[in-house]
Amino acid sequence: MTEFLGLSWHDDQARFYEKSRTKQFYSPTYQDVTRPVYSRSVGRWRACEKYVAPILPALEPYCRKFGYR
């Protein structure tokens, strides 16, 4: 995956499990993934917009195709 994304390998990748002991991660439950699609989260991405902004031009064709914008 690292190579596919064009990134350099970082030694911490081989020890990912060490970090997982210090942080709590959310993992969806069966109930979470079997619920119908809902609209409560529409627009939540805007909270991260400043981080996503540099790649929005590349995402634009997909957003248009799937009706996200």
pLDDT in tens, 40-66: 788 888 899 899 899 989 989 998 899
The stretch 19-45 carries a mean pLDDT of 75
How far apart are the C-alpha atoms of 20 and 14, rounded to whole Å? 12
pLDDT score recorded for residue 8: 93
Q: Helix, strand, coil % (nearest 5) of the chain?
A: 55, 0, 45
Inside any domain, residue 4? no
Inside any domain, residue 51? yes
Domain count across the chain:
1
pLDDT in tens, 8-24: 999 888 887 776 666 66
Inside any domain, residue 3? no
The stretch 21-50 carries a mean pLDDT of 78
Instruction: Determine if the pTM surpasses 0.85.
Output: no
Enclosing domain of residue 54: 11-37+45-66
